[in-house]
Structure 1
Amino acid sequence: MNSKYDILIVGGGAAGFFTAINIVERNSKLKVAILERGKEVLSKVRISGGGRCNVTHACFVPNDLVKFYPRGEKELRGPFHQFCSGDTIEWFEKHGVELKIEDDGRMFPTSDSSQTIIDCFFNAAQKLKIDILTNQSVQSLFKGEDYWKVETNVETFSCQKLVMTTGSNPKIWEMLTELGHSIVSAVPSLFTFNIKDKRIKDLMGLSAFANVKVKNTKLEASGPLLITHWGMSGPGILRLSAWGARILADKNYQFVLQVNWLNDLTFEETLEKLKELKLEHSKKAVSKKCPFEFPNRLWESLVLASGISEDTKWADLSKNQLTNLANQLTNGEFQVNGKSTFKEEFVTAGGIDLKEINFKTMESKLHQNLYFAGEILNIDAITGGFNFQNAWTGGFIIAQTIVN
C-alpha cells in the first residue's frame, strides 16, 4: 500500500507539529501527515518544565537570544530575525494560549499545564485535517526523481517534500548518513556532577551563587549552584555542562571542578576582606557567622576544611589559615567522578552537521525538498525554553519556504 502526501513530517514532537500546522494554515489544499514511531505524540512536551511546558524565554533580541546556544549560536542569528520569542508569544495567543513570564525569564502557559499546549496542537491539527499516524517506525528513506519514499514498519508513503523532526534518534541519523549527511556524534549536554567530598557531604539542598570552572580548560560559568546528595547541580553547573558537553565527554566525566563561592571576588580581594574581619571581629568565633552572602552551614564546612577548629577566634587566625580560607572560598577544588541526567529533560549535543543546512530555508544543501527542524540538528541550548524556541523557529521557516 502506498499512501501519497504533499508533505510528510517524520517525528510527532514539538517541531513536527509546529511545522505541520504552519504549513496547512498557509495553504489548506496541501495534504500533510505526521509520522510518529511511538504510540503517543508530543511526549517530550508533556514532561517539559516539570509538566508545565517551558514554551520559550523572554529574551526578545535575536543577537542576545543566540548566546544561550552552545551549538547553533552563529547559525540561528538569521532564523531568529525571522521568528523570535515575541513571535512565539503572538502565535500561541492567536491560537488561544496565553503565556506568562516568570522571574527568571522562562515562559509558561498561564494554565501552568503542558496539556494546554498539547490540546492547542491537537485541535489545530484536527481542524486543518493533518493526519497524525502513530506506531510508524521509519525503516528506510529513498529519494526518487521528484519525490521521496518513506517506508515504515506498517506501510510505504510517498511525498514531494520531506521534513525530518525526529530529535536525537540514532536510527534516523544513520539513514541520513546513507544519504550523504554528516552526523556530529551525540553526547549528553545538560547534566549534573557526581562529587563525593566531605565539604559538601551533609549540605544537601543548600544553594549559593558561584563561579565554576573546569581545571586546565577555558570552561567557565556563573549561576546558582545547588548541593545535592550526589554532588552539584543548579543553573551554573548545567550551563557549564552544556558548553562543555564535548570536552567533558572526552574526559569521560572525570575532572577537577574549581568553585569560587564568592562568584566575582578574587583570591586577593578575599584575603584582604578576611584580614579586615580579623581586626573587626577579633573576639568572635570564625565559624559562627558567615560574613558573605551564602549559607552559614557551607561557611562552617569551608572554615573546618581550612584547618580552623570550631571555636577558633578571628584574632587567633594564623597567616596560613587565612590563606587557606581565602583559597577554599575562591578556588575550592572538587573531584568530579561521573554525571547524572538532569530530570527527564534529556538534551544531547550532536546531530546533522550545520554546514549542510541552508538556514534561510532549513533545507538540506545536499538534497532538494528535504528539511530539518529541532534537535535532529547539531543545535542545543541550556534550559529555559530555548530548545523549544529553536523548534518553533525552524518549523516556521520551513512552512514559509514550502508554501511561498
Structure 2
Amino acid sequence: MKHYDIIIIGGGAAGFFAAINTAEKFPNLKIVILERGKDVLGKVKISGGGRCNVTHAEFTPKELTYNYPRGEKELLGPFHTFMTGDTMEWFDNRGVELKIEDDGRIFPVSNNSKTIIDCFLNETKKHNIEILTNQGVKDIIYSNDKWEITTGSDIFTSNKLLVATGSSPKMWEILKKLNHTITNPVPSLFTFNCKDNRISDIPGVVAQNVNVKVLNTSLESEGPLLITHWGFSAPSILKTSAFGALELAKLDYKFTIEINFLSLDLETVLNDLKDLKLEEARKTVYKFAQFELPKRLWHKLVLEANIKEDTKWADLNKQQLEALAKQLCQAQFKIDGKSTFKDEFVTAGGINLKEIDFKTYKSKQHQDLYFAGEVLNIDAVTGGFNFQNAWTSGYIVAQNIGL
C-alpha cells in the first residue's frame, strides 16, 4: 500500500494542470497521477486535429460562459479567477508560444499538440510528480480520515483526492456509492447524418454564415456549414448539437432541420431573385452561382427548385422563383442519426453541479474530495472551450487542495 498527500485520478488535461499548479503552490506535498490507460494526455494529443486547441480568444468572463450549455451559471465565478488570458500567460511563462487564429481558436505556434504534452511532462518531472499508468480504479472508500483507492494492481491511500477522469461511466458508478448524483450522459458534440440528393455527391462544400433551426424546437444556431459524406458538420451544426444534446437524444436523433444558406428572410431573397431575373435575363440560372454560394451547392439547389440546367433567368416563372427562394433560405433536411465529431468525444452529463463548491471545486458530500474537468456535468461547444474549463477547474483546485 502506497501513501501520498494527494492522489489525482485521471491523466488528462485537468488532472495534469491541477497537479502542476498544486506542486508549485505546495512544493512539499507528495503527488501522484493515476491513469487507467497506457498513455496520458490522449485527448490533448488529438485535439484540434493534432494541433491542440488550447483555448478560445474570449476575454470577458460573462461572454465566455455563453459557450457552455451546461455550466454557464456555475463557471462565471471561476472564470473571474482564472480564464483565457491567464491560460495564455501560464503557457507563455513556460516557454510555449500561442497564436490566435481568425476564428478565435488558440493553438501553439508549433501547430503540434506535442508542444503542450511536452510542457506538461517536463513540469511534472521538474516538480517530482509521479505518473502511474495502467491503473484503472476499481473502488474508492473513505476510512480513518484517508482515501483508499483500489486499482487493478495496487492499493493507494491519500489525505486528499482529486477526480479528473473526464466522461467516465465507470468512475460515475463509483462516485454514486459516495453519495454523488450523476446526470446521465448523452453525446454533446456530434454531426448530423442525412441522406438527401441535394448533398449526396458534394462532400467538402462549405457554406458560410448559415442559419440552422431544428423544427418544432427552440434550437437555432449560426455559422459555417460543412457538407460531408454522411450529412452535415462544422460550427453551426456542432453548436446545435451541444445546446440540444438532451433534447435531440430524446428525439432519438431523428428530426428535421431548416437551413437558411443566406441568413436572409424569404421576402428579401425573393426580391433579390426578381432583380436577377431582370439584370441577368440572358444568362442561365444554373451556370452562374449567386449570393457567394459555392457553385456545386448552387447547382443542387437550382435543380431542386425544378429549374433545368439550360433555363435562362428571363424564363423563370413565379413558382420557380418562389421555389428557389425557399431552397436558399428555408431548405428542409431530414436528419437520421449522428456521428462522432472527429475523435473528440464530448458528453453532456456527470456529477450534479449542486453538489460542488465552485469556489474550491470541493465536494459538498465529502471532506477532502475535489473534482475538475468533464467529470462534472459541464460541457462546451467546440473551439477550445472544454479545455478552458479543464484549466480553470484544475487551477482553482490547486489553490485549495493543499490547504
TM-score normalised by L of structure 2: 0.98
Q: Please give the per-residue CA displacement for 1:301-356, whole angstroms capped at 9, x wherever unaligned.
A: 11111111112222222211111111111110101111111111111111111111
What is the aligned partner in structure 2 of residue 45 from structure 1? 44
What is the aligned partner in structure 1 of residue 311 from structure 2? 312
Deviation at 1:282, TM superposition (A): 2.2
- In 2, the alpha carbon distance for the partners of 1:246 and 1:52 equals 30
- In 2, the alpha carbon distance for the partners of 1:49 and 1:37 equals 23
1:187 pairs with 2:186: yes
Deviation at 1:366, TM superposition (A): 1.1
Matched ranges for 1:250-329 at <5 A: 250-263=250-263, 265-329=264-328
Q: Please give the per-residue CA displacement for 1:147-175, whole angstroms capped at 9, x wherever unaligned.
A: 21111111111111110000111111001
What is the aligned partner in structure 2 of residue 225 from structure 1? 225
1:7 pairs with 2:6: yes
- Report SS of the residue matched to 1:297: helix
Deviation at 1:145, TM superposition (A): 4.3
Q: Please give the per-residue CA displacement for 1:368-387, whole angstroms capped at 9, x wherever unaligned.
A: 21110011011111111111
- Report SS of the residue matched to 2:66: helix
- 2:229 maps to a residue whose letter is H
- 1:184 maps to a residue whose letter is T
1:20 pairs with 2:30: no
What is the aligned partner in structure 1 of residue 120 from structure 2? 121
- In 2, the alpha carbon distance for the partners of 1:287 and 1:145 equals 77
- Aligned-pair identity in percent equals 61
What is the RMSD computed on CA atoms of the aligned residues? 1.1
- In 2, the alpha carbon distance for the partners of 1:39 and 1:372 equals 22
- In 2, the alpha carbon distance for the partners of 1:266 and 1:104 equals 26
- 2:358 maps to a residue whose letter is F
| Range 126-135 or range 285-294, more displaced | 285-294
- In 2, the alpha carbon distance for the partners of 1:204 and 1:313 equals 28
Q: Unpaired segments of 5 or more residues in structure 2?
A: none
- In 1, the alpha carbon distance for the partners of 2:200 and 2:113 equals 36
- In 1, the alpha carbon distance for the partners of 2:74 and 2:194 equals 35
What is the aligned partner in structure 2 of residue 216 from structure 1? 216
What is the aligned partner in structure 1 of residue 170 from structure 2? 171
- 1:369 maps to a residue whose letter is D
Q: Unpaired segments of 5 or more residues in structure 1?
A: none
Deviation at 1:207, TM superposition (A): 0.7
What is the aligned partner in structure 2 of residue 241 from structure 1? 241
What is the aligned partner in structure 2 of residue 32 from structure 1? 31
- Report SS of the residue matched to 1:403: coil
- In 1, the alpha carbon distance for the partners of 2:81 and 2:68 equals 17
- Count, aligned residues: 402
TM-score normalised by L of structure 1: 0.97
- In 1, the alpha carbon distance for the partners of 2:81 and 2:111 equals 28
Moved runs in structure 1, 4+ residues, more than 6 A?
none
Deviation at 1:214, TM superposition (A): 0.6
- In 1, the alpha carbon distance for the partners of 2:267 and 2:166 equals 47
Deviation at 1:202, TM superposition (A): 1.8
What is the aligned partner in structure 1 of residue 107 from structure 2? 108
- In 1, the alpha carbon distance for the partners of 2:320 and 2:110 equals 54
Deviation at 1:403, TM superposition (A): 3.2
What is the aligned partner in structure 2 of residue 77 from structure 1? 76
Q: Please give the per-residue CA displacement for 1:235-259, whole angstroms capped at 9, x wherever unaligned.
A: 1111111111111111111111110
